[in-house]
Structure 1
């Protein structure tokens, strides 16, 4: 059996909470273990947040696929794109809206820690596709 949840949304921070809650509800309905639900919700939330806050596009897509004890999350945006090797190190100071500064850079390392596999691809003609896989525990 395969289940696919696919959403296309305008880049708005309120939609991050929506996709997090939907992912939690769907995973719970399919009896995914609580730890995997937490991990996947975190993955979905971080990738959606990156699309909304850093891509500078107009929309983003989220696709969650459950099949054969694997959850796949794919988030794509229509923004400026990025290369993994150009992402600043965790804990670095960076500019923040309102001319302030903040310490950041923890999101991508967290994604790479929680997921079993991570792929970064350009989304032609503009943007990025991030695809992660998480092997699911049996319950």
Structure 2
């Protein structure tokens, strides 16, 4: 796998709040607007997007450690690993998101062209996640 891009954001919420949100892919419906459905089947999650995307449909599995969650995507046009690293820092969490793709990824466009577009889209979703986590932390959920 090779890293395509990394996004970093500071979130005014505990790492545990973010970890709980990220560990449950069904919660993506609350922070990724283009996702229409998330269906779980034996630890695998089918993601279907309502708008045109590189992966209109995909299957993800989730692995996690104490400060990291990885979404492993398969069955779409582009397989990838999306790694979320949570670093507690005072009253906030530094959330780092890294997208890695297979060395020989097959796409219709060169990855060099896709990377900045994907990085921007993923950053918007990361910002949505941060806002949702901060709202939940403020409300005490």
- TM-score bin (small chain): under 0.3
- Whichever structure has more strand as a proportion of its residues is 2
* TM-score of the two chains, using structure 1 as the length reference: 0.27
Q: Relative contact order (C-alpha < 8 Å, sep 6+): which is higher? A: 2
- Whichever structure has more helix as a proportion of its residues is 1
